[in-house]
Amino acid sequence: MESSSTIQVAVVEDDARLRRTLAEVLDSADDCRSLGVFSSGEAALAALPALKPDVILMDINLPDIGGVECVAQIAPQLPGTQILMLTVYQDTETIFRALAAGAHGYLVKPVMPGRLLEAIREVRAGGVPMSRTIARQVIEFFHRPAAAPASGAAVEGAGLGPRENQVLEFLVAGLSYKEIAAELGIKPPTVGTYVQRIYEKLHVRTRREIIALCNGGAERGPAGGPGK
């Protein structure tokens, strides 16, 4: 008989072999159960609100709706559900986008079964499990000196609109997507849209390049593209 304390876990992962493996790991544990496995963000969004899992294991690189966007849509619908990213992506921008969208933890594949179950228990108990490399990046980000305001010749002529300039100021100040959304009264995915437009107009790929550009020191590649 299943205990009421059993952690109900849903898996959103496009790799069929990994989906099966994750389900097997969950069902082999005494205190976890695989509540459902989904191969796409669209399928997950359709089913998860009714299933109400305790924890969701979410990949980022999904075939239709990306994992970060999926998190942004499902988190408000399931405030009691903890979302744990399980992905190969380790760049700072993706990490912060996922956390700002509503993720509660971030693990880098591959993850040993014991560590995965430990992380599920930890996030369910209110913790924030992260792979060591991810935790280090988060700490280093907040230890960086504050950047100068994003204004002046560095961004002149880029054609940024008033709202894009506001978002740019907050990005350089170090605010997360969720914090920017709260400041401007919009949703985190909308912030992400503005950020992508800013990146395109300023010919950069990361927040670090934006900060360097606004401080007058960004390196650029050929034809105004970002430096390698």
Segments making up each domain of the chain, as ranges: 7-140, 162-224
Q: Which CATH architecture has domain 162-224?
A: Orthogonal Bundle (1.10)
Query: How far, in Å, CA of 28 to CA of 80, rounded?
Result: 24
Question: Digits of tens for pLDDT over the chain (228 positions)?
Answer: 455 689 999 999 999 999 999 999 999 999 999 999 999 999 999 999 999 999 999 999 898 888 989 999 999 999 999 999 999 888 777 888 888 888 999 999 989 999 999 999 999 999 989 988 888 877 776 666 554 444 445 565 567 788 888 888 888 777 888 888 888 888 888 888 888 888 888 777 777 777 777 765 433 333 333 332
CA distances from 103 to 27, 107, 201 (A): 23, 11, 28
Q: How far apart are CA 4 and CA 220, in angstroms?
A: 57
Report the predicted TM-score, pTM, of the whole model to 2 decimal places. 0.64
Q: Rounded to whole angstroms, how far apart are CA atoms 85 and 109?
A: 10
Cis peptide before 110 (omega within 30 of 0): yes
Q: What is the CB-side half-sphere exposure of residue 145 using CA atoms within 13 A?
A: 5
What is the architecture, at CATH level 2, of domain 7-140? 3-Layer(aba) Sandwich (3.40)
